[in-house]
Amino acid sequence: KNEVEQSPQNLTAQEGEFITINCSYSVGISALHWLQQHPGGGIVSLFMLSSGKKKHGRLIATINIQEKHSSLHITASHPRDSAVYICAVRGADGLTFGKGTHLIIQP
């Protein structure tokens, strides 16, 4: 069974700061997802990665398959980025999720 560790659990930053959220997993995977969840429950898939790096607007996600590690970066953070960010890995037994990183961006 895959173990997924996210850090930090909680992060408060000022508007404009560069944000990094990390995710490590224990067993080989076929893909890694970064998800965003706002209060109220709705989940949005931000990225799906199996190698390398992806960028979408101010968000960048990277994955290192050899080190079993992924990072999500937010550049020029904004209060609307405040949400829970969840890492999920796809293995043979479906998706396994991290506990999430609760991000607050203060104006």
Partner 1 sequence: KAGVTQTPRYLIKTRGQQVTLSCSPISGHRSVSWYQQTPGQGLQFLFEYFSETQRNKGNFPGRFSGRQFSNSRSEMNVSTLELGDSALYLCASSIGQGETFFGQGTRLTVV
Question: Which residues form the interface with partner 1 (CB under 8 A)?
Answer: 30-31, 33, 35, 41-45, 48, 86, 88, 90, 93-100
Q: Whole-number minimum distance, CB 94 to partner 1, in Å?
A: 4
Q: Toward partner 1, which CB reaches closer, 10 or 45? A: 45
| Distances in whole angstroms, Cα of residue 18 to Cα of each of 5, 13, 85, 91 | 21, 9, 15, 30
Per DSSP (E only), the strands in the chain are: 4-7, 10-14, 19-25, 31-37, 43-49, 52-56, 59-64, 69-74, 83-91, 94-97, 101-106
Q: Toward partner 1, which CB reaches closer, 45 or 106? A: 45
Q: Whole-number minimum distance, CB 93 to partner 1, in Å?
A: 6
Q: Whole-number minimum distance, CB 63 to partner 1, in Å?
A: 15
Using alpha carbons only, what angle is made at residue 27 by residues 103 and 41, rounded to the nearest 5 degrees?
30
Q: Toward partner 1, which CB reaches closer, 45 or 64? A: 45
